[in-house]
Structure 1
Amino acid sequence: MADGVPRIADTPSDHVCAGCCMGKMREDNFSRNPEKTVKSAGVLDLIHSDVMGPMPTKTPGGCTYAVTFIDDFSRHVTVYYRIGTR
């Protein structure tokens, strides 16, 4: 048994554990209807991007990173592959 860790029987029954409360919180589900999730009024008004890597497997061209751009309005996705971060 670890030193300094209280036994469960030693914890009062009305005790509220902050970590337990945080772990049980949840967000609303994402809408499956694309019209309800669009936040922009037109093409290129809002772009989402992400950088991924280094990936364990290289592409045939030797790239280990990928950058994605997603247009919020049209949902058009563009992916650029990169060898490094610069």
Structure 2
Amino acid sequence: MTPDQISELAFGGTAAALVAVWVCCARAGDKDAATTRHVLAWSAGQRAQQGEEGGTPPGGREPAPTPVPAPPVRLAPVIDLHTRRAA
């Protein structure tokens, strides 16, 4: 066997193993995503059945507070170089 063939086998085998692991992980991720979508759909159905009339959540809890606008962003002062040089 030549060194080229040995390196080809080493890198080819490693690549094949990595592809196999990636395929298994991708399939597991698809199953997890499907389960998550199913649970979220079930939860949305439960919330729709309970109803949140008047903005009050079920169970007598108080509604979420209204969001407050963020304060304006203050930028650093800009120095007018022409005015500074004239003085």
- Larger helix proportion of the pair: 2
Q: TM-score, normalised by structure 2?
A: 0.26
More relative contact order, 1 or 2 (CA 8 Å, 6+ apart): 1
Rg larger for:
2
- Larger strand proportion of the pair: 1
Q: TM-score, normalised by structure 1?
A: 0.26
